[in-house]
Structure 1
C-alpha cells in the first residue's frame, strides 16, 4: 500500500471507509448538527418544530462546505471526476434550496406554521435576553414579546386543530 493510500483513505482509513465515503458521512453529520443549531435561537423547547425552511437553510450551509472541503483538502480527494460531480451536485443543492426558500416551495399551511413558531420564538428570546438600556427600544421589545407570544399560541392552536 502506498504512503498516500495509508494517509488518505482506502483500507488505511481507520474505519475502513474511502475518503469520499468519509466525506459523505461527515456532511450528513454536519447537516444534522447545523439543522439542530438553527434551533438555538428559540426561547423554549415548546417552540421546537421541525420544518422545511430550516432544511433549506441547512442545505445552503452544507453544500458550500462540501466544495470547500474538496478544495482545501484536495490531497485527500484525488478523483477530479468525482470532485467535479460533488461540486456540481452541491451547486444544484444550494441553488435548489435557495429557490425553495425564496419561493416557499412545498410550504403549505402546516409547514408555514411549523416554520413561523421557531422564527417568532427567536424574536422573543432576543428581546428577553438583550441588554437593552434605551426606553424606546425596551418598550418596542415589550410589544414584540407580547405580540409574538400571542401569535405563537395562535399558531400552536391552529396546528393542534389541524391534527384532529
Structure 2
C-alpha cells in the first residue's frame, strides 16, 4: 500500500507542468462560472465574451503567482519565462478586450448586458436599504432592468 502511494505521488511529481495546466484549466472554468454569481435568476445565465475576458483577467495573474510561489515544483527556467510572458500577454489582451469591447457586436453586447442588468436587480432586491430615497430608486431600477432584460431577450430572438 505504501509503495502504491509513493508511486502515485512520484507520477504526479514527475509532471508538474501537466498538473499546473490541469489546475489552471479547472480554475479558469470555475472563475468563468463564478462571474455569474451576481445574476438574479437562471434566466439570465447567458454565456458572453465579457465574462470570459474577466475570468482571464483574474486567471492570468493567478497563474503567474502559482508559478512564482511554487518554484520548487517548476524548475524549467525557459518554460517558466515563456509561461510568465504568456500570462502577461493574456492579461493585457483580455484587459484590452474588455476596455475596447473586442469581439462584441450586437449579439455579444446583449449577452453581456443581460447578466449585468440582472446583477442590478439582485443588488436592489437583496441589499439592506434604510434610506427611503435609495429604496425608491431601487424600485425604479428593478422595474427598468426587468423591462430592459425582456427587450434585450426579444431582440436576441430576432437576431
The answer to whether the aligner puts 1:136 opposite 2:138 as a matched pair is no
Aligned position for 1:12: 10
Residue in structure 2 matching 1:21, options 12, 18, 23: 18
The SS at the match of 1:133 is coil
Q: Structure 1 stretches of 5 or more lacking a match?
A: 1-5
Residue in structure 1 matching 2:142, options 135, 142, 145: 145
Q: Following the alignment from structure 1 to structure 2, what is the Cα–Cα distance between the partners of residues 81 and 69?
A: 16
Equivalence map 1:78-157=2 (5 Å): 78-157=75-154
The SS at the match of 2:112 is helix
Aligned position for 1:3: none
Aligned position for 1:65: 62
Q: Following the alignment from structure 1 to structure 2, what is the Cα–Cα distance between the partners of residues 138 and 70?
A: 47
Cα deviation 1:29-62 (Å, max 9, x = unaligned): 0011010000010000000100000010000111
Q: Following the alignment from structure 1 to structure 2, what is the Cα–Cα distance between the partners of residues 138 and 19?
A: 53
Residue in structure 1 matching 2:34, options 33, 37, 40: 37
Query: What RMSD, in angstroms, separates the aligned Cα atoms of the two structures?
Result: 1.7
Q: Following the alignment from structure 1 to structure 2, what is the Cα–Cα distance between the partners of residues 28 and 74?
A: 19
TM-score, normalised to structure 1, is 0.90
Q: CA deviation at 1:121?
A: 0.2
Q: CA deviation at 1:17?
A: 6.4
Cα deviation 1:46-94 (Å, max 9, x = unaligned): 0010000001000011100111001111101111111110000000000
TM-score, normalised to structure 2, is 0.93
Q: Structure 2 stretches of 5 or more lacking a match?
A: 1-5
